[in-house]
DNA sequence: TATGAATGAGTTTTCATTCAT
DNA sequence: AATGAATGAAAACTCATTCAT
């Protein structure tokens, strides 16, 4: 602030005792960014998003506070980046795996959609709560916010409609079913107290089948 | 902090000449507490929990900042109180309304459970996101956090099990079904973009029936 | 920031060993404000405006940092307040003292204007540089910023015009003369190296007379 | 840091095949310094000194941040350099132009001094406020700060004294008059609201004459 | 010489909580 | 019980300066 009373910063290493090999202090932006995101993810998980400060993140990442702002303009931007990355990965996997199933195997596609969703949110369980805390975060893109929605429900809706058209199942409201199904699944994940993965997957699959394939 | 039904302290009223008409500055703790909670609820709804300060709450409630701490030891305590109250009201209504249906009318009980849940969360839609933001907030009481759980899933589980025992429906995993159903329902609420209440209730009911009454 | 990880502040006195008499920790806003302004003025004087931090000001005023923001919404607001107060005082004195001289004693009015200006800026010498650092701070109110100007030049211009109309002096451009005179005076103040007050006033007066009463 | 006229280092140019056309990355220190100063001047003008960061300056100059510190040890040093350069140019022109007037034409010398000062500060108007913001920046070198002073007042003082000795005018206090005159002039520049250059110069000249040549 | 990633002290501002009246 | 001035511990973000490459 002052013209002439600015402190003279100093070097100061982070830690590391020797640096025998290389360990360049200066890393590619990509790497730094990834390290910060990883550190943040860990902290968000253990303390919650709100309780985590930029200082903690940089400390955990082993960089100075200022370095954070070399990668993100804002604490919030990090959050968005985390969200986006998680979603992108999820949707990418969804598309890849579902894409391998022949288009007219609707039931199989549904099973695969469910399995992938379950597995992604199981592994990234934490992200789920961390990144989609606000109600509406899973919501469909509305005219008001066309960027909304997360893609998963949209894909599922399309899948359900295709199956309905083909007569694989009968569904009065594909979109509502998709939403119900998606959230039901996530709820299951939230709730899994002492339930092992196997059992969880089995139960989930059964419920999905009941819901979609119900003869009624 | 005190009980609840305490007469408005007006010792000086009978004798003292001034302040004949004005409302008593000293209100029963219960009333103050309720006023603060109401103010907080309003603010949380319009601005979000994080963005609402104690100062704003007391201003809105028309009391001094210090008075807040006469009713709540902490800002967080207010949040808990709000949560607890919402849940208690919900569960109370659930018990009351479901209780009116004969014990052996399982399908009717399920329908009523659904209708009440839907209606409560529709009206208190906002609270939902405000008060149950963290993952696990709906979860069952675990050994780790025995205070967890919200009772709704537990009641639904019991209801589903009773119906299964009676043969009204067949369910391999009552608890999982209850969880799935509950979250699916909430998801539907989150997602309702331009859907009117009627349609929402109808769709929800249909889905619940499909899930539970599925012939399989 | 976090919902539940806020630090619990503590009391902590400022200093004062005993507090035998009264010294209420809680002072009227007016007083606190004045104390902060006084402290700021002192610091601005010795270190410059830019180099002075809010922390320094509150420390000097013997209050906690937060107390600053009870009186000023912003560091800049303090600056404005300081400016405004200085100007108001100056103009008030100008009006009061000049007002005592009969309206048609133009030369006397000019002398009084000069004396007051000199004395005010001598005593508040520092403010001058502190508060009117930006070029244009003394400027006339323009159509663009009608609030601009400091009033002193305007008053002087009117005074000079009156004298010209009365034939006390002849002036081709009253406004320009006023501006020139005002800044010349301030320059003198800036420059006074080892010159005592008496001498300064005498020299200033002589110059003003030369400039305005020049027979030419 | 080096001299100034150094051939563009192009040792590799004759042999190496690449970079045949592009400008040399390595420029003489003088040039770099000048480019940085130019960029800084531009930014200071448009945003203010305080608001301009080293990063902005280097970006505008098309060099890396680190290169700044190859030319200036400090941000403040750049400011000094800018100040010094402006003053040097001004004084140089003053000496050159005034020097062309015969030594005994005191009135003419004064007129020329005024014209040059006016013109320099009119063109470099902005620098004025940017570089001489602090009070005392125009002041005479004092025993306390012997580096102070800007030379202009000193030259004017000498000029006025010479004229007084020659009887061209009578001045009780040459130094005070010089200071008054100099600041009066600058004030005029500051104040010029909608006044064109011509009119400004005319008014200034008239005031200077009144002040110095006053019959009194 | 040139680079720009990295540093970290320092700044303003916010706000839960306390406590003297 | 009620008040609201006072507190001070953070938090987010900036930026002059350094230094390994």
Q: What's the pLDDT at C216?
A: 53
Cβ proximity of D179 and D85 under 8 Å = no
Higher-confidence residue of C19 and C149: namely C149
Q: Are residues A120 and A196 in the same domain?
A: yes
C67 touches strand F (CB under 7 A): yes
Which residue places its CA closest to the C1' of nucleotide F14? A66
Positions 47-76 in A, CB within 7 angstroms of strand F? 53-55, 65-66, 69, 73-76
Q: What's the pLDDT at A166?
A: 95
Task: Say how far apart CA C33 and CA C36 lie, in whole Å.
Answer: 5
Q: Which of B88, B212, B121, B211 is nearest to B162 (CA)?
A: B212
- In angstroms, the CA of A7 and the C1' of E10 are apart by 8
Q: What's the pLDDT at A214?
A: 76
Task: Say how far apart CA C216 and CA D70 lie, in whole Å.
Answer: 57
For chain B, give the secondary structure using H, E and C: CCCCCCCCCCCCCCCCCCCCCCCCCCCCHHHHHHHHHHHHHHHHHHHCCCCCCHHHHHHHHCCCHHHHHHHCCCHHHHHHHHHHHHHHHHHHHHHHHHHCCCCCCHHHHHHHHHHHHHHHHHHCHHHHHHHCCCCCCCCCCCCCCCCCCCCHHHHHHHHHHHHHHHCCCCCCCHHHHHHHHHHHHHHHHHHCCCCCHHHHHHHHHHHHHHHHHCCC
- In angstroms, the CA of B80 and the C1' of E18 are apart by 22
Instruction: Calculate what percentage of chain B has a pLDDT beyond 90.
Output: 52
Q: What's the pLDDT at D182?
A: 93
Q: What's the pLDDT at D123?
A: 76
CA angle D97-D98-D99, nearest 5°? 90
Positions 38-77 in B, CB within 7 angstroms of strand F? 63-67, 69-70
In this structure, the number of other CB atoms found within 10 A of the CB of residue A168 comes to: 19
- Domain CATH for D127: 1.10.357
Distances in Å between the alpha carbon of A29 and those of A72, B165, B189, C121?
A: 11, 61, 41, 55
Is residue A9 domain-resident?
A: no
Q: What's the pLDDT at B68?
A: 98
Q: Choosing among C75, C131, C169, C187, which should be mutated to test the D contact, i.e. which has the most D CBs within 10 A?
A: C187
Total number of domains constituting chain D: 2
For A117, phi and psi rounded to 5 degrees? -60, -50
The DSSP code for D24 is P
Q: Are residues B46 and B136 in the same domain?
A: no
Q: Are residues A127 and A43 in the same domain?
A: no
Q: Are residues D205 and D130 in the same domain?
A: yes
Each residue of B91-130: pLDDT tens digit? 999 999 999 999 999 999 999 999 999 998 887 756 666 6
Domain that holds residue C63: 29-72
Q: Are residues C97 and C202 in the same domain?
A: yes
Q: Do B50 and C3 touch (CB under 8 A)?
A: yes
Q: Are residues A101 and A184 in the same domain?
A: yes
Q: Strand F: list positions under 7 Å from protein Cβ.
A: 1-21
Could you give the 3-state DSSP secondary structure of residue A78?
A: helix
Higher-confidence residue of C148 and D158: namely D158
Q: Are residues A87 and A68 in the same domain?
A: no
* Cβ of residue C5 closer than 8 Å to a chain A Cβ: yes
Q: Are residues A132 and A208 in the same domain?
A: yes
Which of A72, A107, A136 finishes a domain? Answer: A72
Q: What's the pLDDT at A215?
A: 64
Which nucleotide across the nucleic acid strands is nearest to B50, CA versus C1'? Answer: E15
Is residue B2 domain-resident?
A: no
Q: Any idea which of A47-61, B151-165, D64-78, D127-141 has the lowest mean pLDDT?
A: D127-141
In this structure, the number of other CB atoms found within 10 A of the CB of residue A74 comes to: 11
Which residue's entry shows tokens 């609820």?
A: B41
Q: What's the pLDDT at D187?
A: 87
- In angstroms, the CA of C1 and the C1' of F11 are apart by 7
Cβ proximity of B139 and B148 under 8 Å = yes
Is residue C140 domain-resident?
A: yes
Q: Are residues D98 and D184 in the same domain?
A: yes
Which nucleotide across the nucleic acid strands is nearest to C12, CA versus C1'? Answer: F7
Task: Say how far apart CA C78 and CA C75 lie, in whole Å.
Answer: 5
Spell out, as residue ranges, where chain A has pLDDT lower than 50: 1-22, 135-148
Q: What's the pLDDT at B182?
A: 93
Each residue of D82-118: pLDDT tens digit? 988 988 899 999 999 999 999 999 999 999 999 999 9
Q: Are residues C165 and C89 in the same domain?
A: yes
Task: Say how far apart CA C79 and CA C83 lie, in whole Å.
Answer: 6
Is residue B14 domain-resident?
A: no
Q: What's the pLDDT at D26?
A: 76
A residues 148..177 contacting B (CB < 8 A): 153, 172-173, 176-177
Each residue of B24-81: pLDDT tens digit? 567 788 999 999 999 999 999 888 888 999 999 999 999 999 999 999 999 999 999 9
* Cβ of residue A181 closer than 8 Å to a chain B Cβ: yes
Name the CA radius of gyration of chain B, rounded: 22
- Domain CATH for C67: 1.10.10.60
Cβ proximity of C86 and C124 under 8 Å = yes
Which of A42, A72, A102 finishes a domain? Answer: A72
Q: What's the pLDDT at C215?
A: 63
Distances in Å between the alpha carbon of B73 and those of B1, B44, B78, B81, C4?
A: 9, 19, 8, 11, 13
pLDDT at C149 over 60: no
């Amino acid at each position: 602030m002052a013209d002439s009373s600015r402190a003279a910063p100093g070097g100061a290493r982070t830690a590391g005792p020797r640096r025998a090999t290389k360990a360049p202090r200066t890393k590619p932006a990509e790497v730094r960014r990834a390290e910060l995101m990883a550190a943040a993810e860990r902290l968000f998980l253990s303390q919650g998003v709100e309780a985590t400060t930029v200082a903690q993140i940089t400390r955990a990442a082993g960089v100075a506070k200022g370095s954070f702002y070399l990668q993100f303009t804002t604490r919030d931007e990090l959050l968005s980046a985390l969200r986006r990355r998680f979603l992108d990965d999820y949707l990418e996997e969804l598309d890849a795996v579902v894409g391998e199933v022949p288009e007219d195997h609707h039931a199989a596609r549904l099973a695969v959609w469910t399995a992938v969703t379950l597995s992604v949110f199981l592994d990234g369980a934490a992200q789920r709560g961390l990144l989609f805390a606000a109600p509406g975060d899973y919501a469909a893109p509305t005219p008001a916010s066309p960027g909304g929605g997360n893609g998963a429900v949209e894909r599922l809706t399309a899948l359900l409609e295709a199956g309905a058209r083909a007569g694989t199942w009968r569904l009065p409201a594909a979109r509502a079913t998709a939403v119900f199904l998606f959230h039901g699944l996530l709820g299951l994940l939230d709730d899994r107290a002492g339930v092992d993965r196997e059992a969880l997957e089995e139960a989930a699959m059964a419920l999905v089948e009941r819901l979609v394939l119900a003869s009624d």
